[in-house]
Amino acid sequence: MSTTADVVIIGCGGAGSAAAAELARRGRTVVGLDAFGRGHDRGSSHGTERIVRAAYTDEMYSLMALDSFDGWRDLERETDTRLLSMVGSIDTGFARELADISTNLTTCGLPHELMDAAEAERRFPFFRFEHPVLWQPNSGTVHADGAVAAFQRVARANGADLRFDDPVIAIDVRAGGVRVTSTSGVVEAGSVIVTAGAWADRLLDGILALPELIVTDEQVFFFRPRAEYPWPTFITRTVPELYGLPTPGGLMKAGEHYTGPRVDPDVRTAPSVEAAERVSSWIAANVPGLEPTPVDATTCLYASFPDEDFIIDRVGDVVVGVGLGGHGFKFLPEIGRRLADLADGESWRGNPFSIDRESRHVGPSGHK
Ligand SMILES: Cc1cc2nc3c(=O)[nH]c(=O)nc-3n(C[C@H](O)[C@H](O)[C@H](O)COP(=O)(O)OP(=O)(O)OC[C@H]3O[C@@H](n4cnc5c(N)ncnc54)[C@H](O)[C@@H]3O)c2cc1C
């Protein structure tokens, strides 16, 4: 089969689906190709909730999260689907980081409170705190599977042709366009967007030189609450970093940030007993509102660059949106819009996510 399109997208996880939705809304002809089935669990965008928050130590991400909140609400309206649960968030840990987050939230005009550990335990008796706490009510979760499906519904409703179980075999960059070969045939397009997550470096080998893409298999565990508390999301800004968030079925999902083993994305590891024990003993010591034995576990890939910042850029007719790591989901509406702009040929002045190391954004690390 041979098809022509304005844009061909390789990888219809979160980023590719967001870009497909935005381009299709603009009336572009779009073909999206994914190696696995719709809603598969082999990449980074599957499962229940992801944390959405503007509480970053890096102002650029706080502002981008603020824009993304609008994008999520627009997507909810457009698809008549509830995706966000604004349950609030707790950050606890190093006082310096909490102060930086507070400054950025003030810049964003978002209310928040800093409190000492004793006051925080009075407010949130289902936690124990060793460090000060920053509470931020305008944070919460977005449903991951629901969000990706919603982007795909918008894309299809506006004419996009999304094909699953259809791995791309070759990208051929030619004068004035690209030719992409997948198992179902060939797509000729004006530009290609590569949003292939943990597989992006293989696909772009010989086409674009990316920094080293670090792929880790991260583990998350599910804990049963002892009672129906109003659970917020939480992040410990200590070493190691842990996070948790409520899920619609009532279980709390919790995991360590960035401790998973490096893997080949095609060769996954089973949930590790050691990681379960570490998270479980942390929960036992710090979250008395949860039963400390996990009732379920899953794994998910982080695909990150060493500086933990994304690459969202265009070189010739190749647009890339990769390296979203362990914190990219919340920004998907904005990432989709930026990828669509780049595919449309718009330049991004001062692009913080440039592939060019010299002009890349440099900010504090440790994002979640
Ligand atoms: C455990 C975990 C917790 C997280 N928590 C949060 C959080 O709380 N908040 C937050 O904001 N973010 C969070 N994230 C990060 C976020 O989920 C990811 O950054 C985001 O989902 C990455 O999306 P993606 O589209 O880049 O990758 P993916 O969803 O993996 O999409 C890439 C797609 O490319 C396809 N592909 C690969 N090779 C080919 C090929 N040859 N041909 C065709 N298709 C191909 C794959 O099949 C896949 O569908 C978390 C991630 C994990 C793993």
Given ligand 1 and candidates 199, 204, 304, 305, which is best to mutate, with the most ligand atoms within 8 Å of its CB?
Answer: 199
CB atoms within 10 A of CB 123: 13
SS3 content of the chain, % helix, strand, coil (to 5): 30, 30, 40
Residue 45, C-beta contacts closer than 8 angstroms, at least 6 positions apart: 13, 14, 144, 148, 197, 329
Query: Which candidate, 103, 328, 43, 98, places its Cα nearest to that of 234?
Result: 98
Residue 253: the pLDDT is: 97
CA of 196 to the centre of ligand 1 (A): 8
Atom of ligand 1 nearest to the CA of 43: 30
Distance 271 CA to ligand 1 centre (A): 18
Architecture of domain 1-77+144-213+305-368: 3-Layer(bba) Sandwich (3.50)
For residue 147, the tally of other CB atoms under 10 A from its CB is: 27
Nearest ligand 1 atom to the CA of 169 is: 41
Residue numbers of the chain with a pLDDT score lower than 70:
none
| Ligand 1 centroid – CA 323 distance (Å) | 9
CA-based angle 354:359:362, to the nearest 5?
Answer: 90
Ligand 1 atom with minimal separation from the 243 CA = 8
**Portion of the chain with pLDDT greater than 90, in percent:** 90
Ligand 1: nearest atom to the Cα of 42: 47
CA 86 to ligand 1 centroid distance, Å: 22
Using the atom order of ligand 1, give the atom closest to the CA of residue 14. 25
Q: Are 22 and 339 in contact (CB under 8 A)?
A: yes
Choice from 17, 44, 64, 216 to test ligand 1 binding pocket (greatest atom count within 8 A of CB): 44
Ligand 1 shell residues, CB under 6 Å: 10-16, 33-36, 42-45, 50-51, 167-168, 195-199, 203, 218, 220, 255, 300-302, 324-330
Angle at 11 between CA 169 and CA 62, to 5 degrees: 145
264-286 residue pLDDT tens:
999 987 778 999 999 999 999 99
At residue 359, the pLDDT reads 81
Which residue lies with its CA nearest to atom 23 of ligand 1? 14
* CA 49 to centroid of ligand 1, rounded, Å: 13
Closest to 196 (Cα-Cα) out of 221, 167, 220, 172: 167
Give every CB contact of residue 231 below 8 A, 6+ residues apart in sequence.
87, 126, 225, 245, 246, 252, 289
How open is the CA angle 131-132-136, to the nearest 5 degrees? Answer: 130
Q: Please tell me the distance from the alpha carbon of residue 255 to that of residue 242, in angstroms, as a whole number.
A: 6
Delimit the domains of the chain by residue range. 1-77+144-213+305-368
Query: Closest ligand 1 atom, CA of 301?
Result: 53
pLDDT at position 368: 79
Alpha helices, DSSP H, located in 233-331:
273-286
